[in-house]
């Protein structure tokens, strides 16, 4: 027991010797004060610089420039400029230091020069594109976002929230406005158009009933069409039979037309012949009249005045006149008589009769006086002249009237016969086309009937579904939730519009809530300051004994623990100052102050003995190793970013880093405990104490000579400490 006490006395002697030398040296006291305060300053300043970087008071200092190039648009004569509305709303927003300029060039130049962190440029067709859906040609409105990522690493992440927020606000406002406009028609939705106050479902039900009646009428009409097609098929059969008979009839008609055409040609020739004969005969009659007149004159000139001689001559002339009259009547028999020709023919016959009467009178006057005979002769000449004029008139009438009429009539007949032939030929072709069409009609009728039957079946099926829909409408009308919705739309359409624009409310329930970002980062900076404090201790203070404080038989472990007590106490002073300053000066959130101090104190003990052991065992190499470990832990311990987003190598090393366990213990004390996690994290840190003792008590012995050689080499340089 006494030997053990002596061993502990050596440790105490080493500590008391160190304490006296420090206390009696003013420079040493000043340095000790500095060594205890500097780490706390590192923690405090970093915590305060990260106190609330995402709060409105901080982000309001970030300048984001806005330029609206929107030209606006017009709806039904109403000017609309959404860009100006966005700018007006942003002017009321104080979360960002908004700066407003007039042009895109000015905004972009400001971002490039570093005057602004980011820029929002509203496109010139923003308003027009926003309502483009009204015209059917939809164009998404554009807001161009520019950000200067070179200026700061975190600022783009903060300002990047701006673009998302602006986009969401515009979308929400647009949806809300549209929904409110639509829901303002709630009177139409809730009541029908009749003005009777009826429910909308009743109006729909009435429309469905009308549609059902229309469908039934449609089905009846389709059935009628099907019956008509069946009747048409019978009619087609009868028509086909008639068509066959029409072919025979048309053939007979064509034969008769051809015969009539030949007869017309013959008649036309006969008419020409008759016309020529009539003309010749009439000319002959005129000549005979002249001859007879001359014969009468010869009678008076050559025949003596004996009664017997004159009488014979007159008889001969009379016979000639009668023969001429007969010849005239024969020639006129082939002439088509009209009233004029008939009258003129009768006049000529009357003239012949008068001539014959005058000849009889002349014959009777042959035994009378010469004066009487001359009077009769003059009368006879007058009759001949009259007869000749009548024949000439008849001849003229025939040539100018009858003959052209006959020719015109024959031409008309021939033209008519030609037209009849064309009609018969066309009718024959048409009958063939009709017959061909009629042959295809049965298939067409059958196809049409099949389609009509299918249509009727579809209409019947539709009518059945319509009945189901009517039944569903009845169910909807009796549904309580539907009636509540209708009442809500009628009473408060704005509430529904707000719901449509933002149907989901995010109810944020923080677990282990942090009052501010500074409190959230405090575990990292406190742990870092404790490590930093231990690091400057081993960098400024010697871990090995330079002089013997009057102890006998000093062992390695006695030297180790004797000198470590100073390092431990210095580390605890650093820790208590840092902890008190964080709670009382900086004002971090801390739900369990005593446990916060204990975790920091235990961490300080772990870090100081660990780094003291490294320096004790390896000298300057150990100090360098402590620096390297700090750098690695700053990057990969998850103090600023979740370890899951770090490179794989840090994710692997994370569980071996003392920073991680110390920070987790401090988080438990700051934000709230979870089970025994606090004690588990502290227990995990004891592994580093074991490693430290291994370095300081075991590995340091074989490394002693190596460290001495390194020290000698450093001293020879006259530069290295």
For the chain, which residues score pLDDT lower than 50?
1-2, 187, 193-198, 303-306
97: β partners: 63
Tell which residue, 155, 143, 153, has the closest CA to residue 97: 155
How many separate helices (H) and strands (E) can be counted in the chain?
23, 6
- Long-range residue pairs from 79-85, CB within 8 A, at least 24 positions apart, any chain: 80/127, 80/131, 81/127, 82/126, 82/127, 82/130, 82/141, 82/170, 83/122, 83/126, 83/127
pLDDT of residue 702: 85
Tell which residue, 584, 586, 604, 581, has the closest CA to residue 662: 604
pLDDT of residue 596: 97
CB within 8 Å of 650: residues ≥ 6 apart: 635, 636, 643
Tell which residue, 536, 537, 552, 545, has the closest CA to residue 704: 545
pLDDT of residue 157: 72
What's the topology of domain 60-183+492-501? Answer: abc type-2 transporter like fold (3.40.1710)
pLDDT of residue 402: 61
What 8-state DSSP symbol labels residue 135?
Answer: G
pLDDT of residue 193: 47
Place of tokens 């009747």: 231
Q: In angstroms, rounded to a whole number, what is the distance separating the alpha carbons of residues 440 and 448?
A: 12
**DSSP reduced 3-state for 545:** coil
391: β partners: none
Tell which residue, 282, 296, 316, has the closest CA to residue 398: 282
Helix, strand and coil in the chain, % to nearest 5? 80, 5, 20
Contact (Cβ atoms closer than 8 angstroms) between residue 190 and residue 482: no
Q: In angstroms, rounded to a whole number, what is the distance separating the alpha carbons of residues 62 and 97?
A: 5
- Greatest alpha-carbon pair distance for the chain in Å reads 230
Q: Please report, for residues 24, 324, 325, the alpha-carbon distance to residue 279 in angstroms, rounded to integers and kept in the order given.
A: 180, 15, 16
Q: Where along the chain do the CATH 3.40.1710 domains lie?
A: 60-183+492-501
pLDDT of residue 713: 78
Q: In angstroms, rounded to a whole number, what is the distance separating the alpha carbons of residues 294 and 370?
A: 19
pTM: 0.57
pLDDT of residue 1: 47
């Amino acid at each position: 027991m006494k030997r053990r006490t002596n061993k502990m006395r050596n440790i105490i002697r080493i500590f008391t010797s160190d304490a006296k030398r420090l206390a009696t040296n003013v420079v040493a006291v000043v340095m000790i004060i500095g060594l205890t305060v500097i780490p706390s300053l590192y923690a405090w300043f970093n915590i305060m610089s990260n106190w609330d970087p995402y709060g409105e008071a901080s982000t309001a200092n970030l300048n984001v420039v806005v330029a609206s190039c929107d030209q606006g648009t017009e709806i039904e004569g109403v000017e609309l400029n959404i860009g100006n509305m966005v700018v007006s709303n942003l002017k009321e927003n104080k979360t960002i230091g908004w700066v407003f300029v007039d042009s895109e060039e000015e905004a972009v130049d400001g971002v490039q020069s570093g005057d602004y962190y980011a820029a929002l440029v509203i496109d010139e067709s923003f308003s027009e594109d926003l309502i483009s859906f009204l015209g059917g040609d939809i164009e998404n409105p554009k807001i161009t976002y520019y950000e200067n990522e070179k200026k700061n690493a975190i600022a783009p992440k903060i300002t990047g929230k701006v673009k998302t927020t602006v986009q969401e606000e515009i979308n929400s406002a647009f949806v809300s406005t549209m929904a409110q406009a639509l829901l303002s028609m709630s009177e139409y939705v809730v009541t029908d158009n009749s003005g009777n106050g009826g429910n909308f479902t009743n109006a729909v039900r009435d429309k469905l009933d009308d549609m059902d009646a229309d469908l039934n009428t449609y089905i009846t009409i389709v059935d009628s069409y099907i019956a008509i097609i069946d009747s048409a098929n019978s009619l087609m059969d009868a028509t086909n039979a008639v068509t066959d008979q029409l072919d025979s009839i048309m053939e007979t008609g064509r034969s008769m037309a051809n015969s009539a055409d030949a007869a017309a040609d013959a008649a036309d020739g006969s008419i020409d012949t008759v016309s020529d004969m009539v003309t010749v005969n009439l000319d002959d009659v005129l000549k005979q009249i002249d001859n007879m007149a001359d014969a009468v004159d010869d009678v008076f000139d050559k025949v003596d005045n004996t009664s017997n001689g004159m009488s014979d001559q007159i008889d001969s002339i009379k016979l000639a006149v009668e023969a001429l009259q007969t010849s005239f009547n024969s020639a006129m028999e082939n002439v088509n008589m009209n009233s004029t020709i008939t009258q003129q023919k009768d006049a000529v016959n009357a003239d012949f009769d008068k001539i014959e009467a005058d000849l009889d009178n002349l014959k009777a006057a042959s035994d009378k006086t010469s004066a009487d005979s001359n009077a009769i002769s003059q009368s006879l000449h007058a009759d001949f002249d009259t007869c000749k004029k009548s024949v000439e008139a008849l001849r003229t009438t025939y040539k100018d009237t009858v003959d052209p009429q006959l020719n015109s009539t024959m031409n008309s007949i021939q033209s008519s016969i030609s037209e009849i032939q064309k009609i018969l030929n066309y009718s024959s072709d048409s009958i063939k086309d009709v017959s061909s069409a009629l042959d295809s009609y049965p298939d067409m009728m059958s196809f049409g009937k099949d389609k009509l039957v299918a249509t009727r079946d579809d209409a019947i099926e539709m009518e059945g579904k319509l009945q189901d829909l009517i039944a569903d409408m009845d169910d909807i009308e009796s549904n309580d939730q539907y009636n509540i919705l209708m009442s809500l739309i009628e009473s408060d359409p704005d509430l529904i519009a707000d719901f449509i624009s933002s149907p989901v409310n995010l109810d944020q329930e923080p677990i282990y809530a942090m009052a501010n970002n500074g409190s959230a980062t405090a575990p990292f900076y406190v742990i870092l300051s404790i490590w930093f404090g231990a690091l400057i201790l081993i960098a400024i203070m010697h871990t090995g004994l330079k002089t013997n404080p009057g102890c006998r038989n000093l062992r390695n472990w006695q030297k180790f623990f004797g000198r470590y007590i100073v390092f431990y106490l210095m580390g605890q002073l650093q820790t208590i100052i840092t902890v008190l300053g964080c709670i009382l000066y900086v004002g971090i959130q801390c739900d369990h102050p005593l446990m916060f101090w204990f975790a920091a104190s235990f961490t300080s003990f772990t870090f100081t003995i660990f780094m003291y052991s490294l320096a004790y065992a390896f000298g300057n190499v150990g100090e360098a190793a402590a620096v390297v470990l700090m750098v690695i832990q700053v990057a990969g311990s998850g103090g600023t970013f979740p370890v899951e987003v770090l490179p794989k190598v840090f994710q692997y090393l994370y569980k071996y880093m003392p920073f991680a366990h110390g920070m987790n213990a401090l988080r438990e004390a700051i934000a709230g405990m979870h089970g025994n996690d606090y004690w588990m994290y502290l227990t995990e840190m004891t592994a580093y104490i074991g490693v430290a003792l291994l370095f300081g008590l075991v590995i340091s012995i074989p490394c002693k000579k190596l460290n001495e050689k390194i020290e000698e080499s450093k001293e020879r340089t006259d530069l290295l400490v």
